[in-house]
Amino acid sequence: MDKKALHVITFSLAMVGALNWGLVGLFDFNLVEALLGSGSGLARLVYIVVGVSAVYVFATHKNDCKICGEMMAKK
């Protein structure tokens, strides 16, 4: 898989996880569990994939993001 595709996929998944948390906080509604079943193995898999994606985005962000890249380079 090329880096661009990996970036788009992991970024999207991390955002899905963040939005799901927002929904839980605002409306007490868990979209992932509503779609895949509360506490199901599939919901758990989504959480794991989202977590791994977040780690990837966090680790590569300063290379991909102009703003963070510049900030880190100055310090």
Residue 45 interacting with Zn ion (CB under 5 A):
no
DSSP state letter for 65:
-
CB of 13 to Zn ion, least distance (A): 17
Residue 71 interacting with Zn ion (CB under 5 A):
no
d(CA 20, CA 11) in angstroms, rounded, equals 14
Nearer to Zn ion among residue 18 and residue 65 (C-beta): 65
Nearer to Zn ion among residue 35 and residue 71 (C-beta): 71
29 torsion bin: left (phi>0), alpha (psi -120 to 50), beta (else)? beta
- Say if CB 34 and CB 44 are below 8 A apart: no
Residue 65 interacting with Zn ion (CB under 5 A):
yes
Residue numbers at the binding site for Zn ion (CB under 5 A): 65, 67-68
